[in-house]
Amino acid sequence: MTCRRIWVAGHNGMVGSALVRYLEARGDQVIKADRAVVDLRHQMAVEVWLKQSRPDAIIFAAAKVGGIYANDTYPADFIYDNLAIEVNVIHSAHAAGVDRLVFLGSSCIYPKFAPQPIKEEALLTGPLESTNEWYAIAKIAGIKLCQAYRKQYGRRYISVMPCNLYGPNDNFDLKTSHVMPALIRKFHEGKQAGLSEVVVWGTGTPLREFLHVDDLARGVVFCLDNYDDYEHINCGAGSEISIRGLAELVKRAVGYEGRIVFDASKPDGTPRKLMDSSRIMTLGWLPQIGLEEGVVDAYRWFLKNKVAPVELEGASA
């Protein structure tokens, strides 16, 4: 299917902006709406906007997102904002007669101790990881909303679950960011300031799966064109790395020469969350950007766009 007019909800974020780049390069017309035009937490505003704009399809990349510290510290914001925008966008899409929607979730929807690699069927088979259960519950609700509107009204709404993402337009604020941008920033600032050590949170043993956001954008549009099922679908890199391994990789890419110190008083979060992405890979999507290459790309973007230094935890040389 080739959609002429696609609303990318959340077009300013890391995922949304990657989708805009990819769709526009393909020749699709992308509709965008800033928060000043439509605040997705306000039902009436969303309903009016969707009835006026009537896109052919919606890619739902809008979400309140954050790393382990932000999720653990602001549970009300994460559950309320995400539930509100999901209810508003998905219901209003139906009310406006938009028949195609791709909802984006997260691998944190799966149980903390799900068998690895995690298949789509593992959803709701066990308790969640506590540091981000508020966000996870909201994302599970988003999947269920898509399924409910498909079941009751025949709407062709689907859900795609990405693993940990990184790339251009990431959030580099150390309090709210995910691990990849945090490490890029910490090693860069550590190099600039000549610090003898850089602090990495947790024990370094958790395993995470990282996908460059440009690969995800291709995967999401691939699903829009080729996937139309009740069940959500995983979209991951298919490989994992420990936080220690990632720290060493980022350290090399940045050219930092000091030591890495682990702060075990900070939470590790879930021990492992490698998804089984064989369903989407069998359909024909494969990641193209390796982790080393991707980290270099993300660091290049950081250097070009985010140069204001911050005060780091860590000793001076």
Active site residues: 135
Residue closer to ligand GDP, measured from CB, 139 or 155: 139
**What is the smallest separation between the CB atom of 142 and ligand GDP, expressed in angstroms?**
17
Give the C-alpha separation, 7 to 101, whole Å: 9
Residue closer to ligand GDP, measured from CB, 111 or 202: 202
**What is the smallest separation between the CB atom of 242 and ligand GDP, expressed in angstroms?**
9
**What is the smallest separation between the CB atom of 254 and ligand GDP, expressed in angstroms?**
14
Question: Which residue is closest to ligand GDP by CB?
Answer: 67
For residue 60, CA distances in Å to 8, 105, 310 come to: 6, 9, 32
Alpha helices for the chain (secondary structure H): 14-26, 43-53, 68-73, 75-95, 133-153, 179-193, 213-226, 243-254, 278-283, 291-305
Residue closer to ligand GDP, measured from CB, 162 or 219: 162
Residue 311, burial from CB neighbour count under 10 angstroms (0-12, 13-18, 19+): exposed
- Closest Cα to residue 212, out of 291, 109, 99? 291
Residue closer to ligand GDP, measured from CB, 178 or 232: 178
Give the C-alpha separation, 142 to 123, whole Å: 13
**What is the smallest separation between the CB atom of 149 and ligand GDP, expressed in angstroms?**
28
Alpha-carbon torsion (226, 294, 274, 108), positive or negative = negative
Residue closer to ligand GDP, measured from CB, 100 or 178: 178
For residue 297, CA distances in Å to 61, 167, 212, 292, 307 come to: 22, 7, 9, 9, 16
Summarize as ranges the residues that interact with ligand GDP (CB under 6 A).
Answer: 67-69, 108, 132, 164, 177-179, 182, 200-202, 206, 208, 243, 266-269
**What is the smallest separation between the CB atom of 182 and ligand GDP, expressed in angstroms?**
3
